[in-house]
Amino acid sequence: CALYPRDAAFLELVAEEVLEQVSRLATHAAIVVWGGNNENEAALNWYDASRKQRDRYVADYVKLYVDTVVPAIRAADADGRPVVDTSPSNGLVSEAPYVKRWGVLSTKSSAAAGSWGDVHYYNYADDCEDAATYPLARFVSEHGFQAFPGVDTYAAVSAPSDWSRDAPFADFRMRHPDGNAQALAMMARHFRVPPASCDDDDAPPLCEQRA
């Protein structure tokens, strides 16, 4: 989620990278749609620079993603899978010519959510088994809940004194604000929370699967 330049040298590098990566990944049957970026259109509303000079940054965005990334993806994928320049988005007005539907991005509560584009939805407070908390969206392309790392992964970068969810190291490794407390609260709704050790790494994935 960031802002990027549109100088010729950078765009050339981007096109080369997209062609290489899409060609490498195009044989994967699990890929049903290509995304040009993750949340970078949404990020236009997050930073002072892009809010104050919106026309400039929209032009940068279009030059990079619509005029460079999207054509490069199409050139590299012989199967012609759908391409979106960003996710989430409000979708397209037209595929050919490629015309974006600009505006406030769809959210769980917006009327547009069920009509076009896609929605990212994360809810760390409500019960993950309550279907009523999920958006009635056309396509929820991101959703889920954080899980603690597996024991083997954790052990490779830590000392035994760190192997407790109450240890300072656990807070240091957690990049999401209040993430450990949120994960424990969600687990406690459905499971008996074990002692403060990293043996509870399977609980959040189970909770997500049941949802």
Alpha carbon of residue 155 to chain centroid: 27
Residue 135 CA to residue 123 CA, distance in Å, equals 11
Asked whether 108 and 135 are in contact (CB, 8 A), the reply is yes
Alpha carbon of residue 152 to chain centroid: 26
Reply yes or no on whether 16 is catalytic.
no
Reply yes or no on whether 142 is catalytic.
yes
Q: Check 16, 20, 39, 129 and give the catalytic one.
A: 39
Q: In sequence order, what are the residues at sequence separation of 6 or more whose Cβ sits closer than 8 angstroms to the Cβ of residue 143? A: 120, 121, 122, 134
Residue 96 CA to residue 31 CA, distance in Å, equals 22
Q: Check 12, 16, 17, 142 and give the catalytic one.
A: 142
C-alpha dihedral, 13 to 14 to 20 to 21, nearest 10°: 140
Asked whether 165 and 198 are in contact (CB, 8 A), the reply is yes
Q: Which of the residues are catalytic?
A: 39, 142
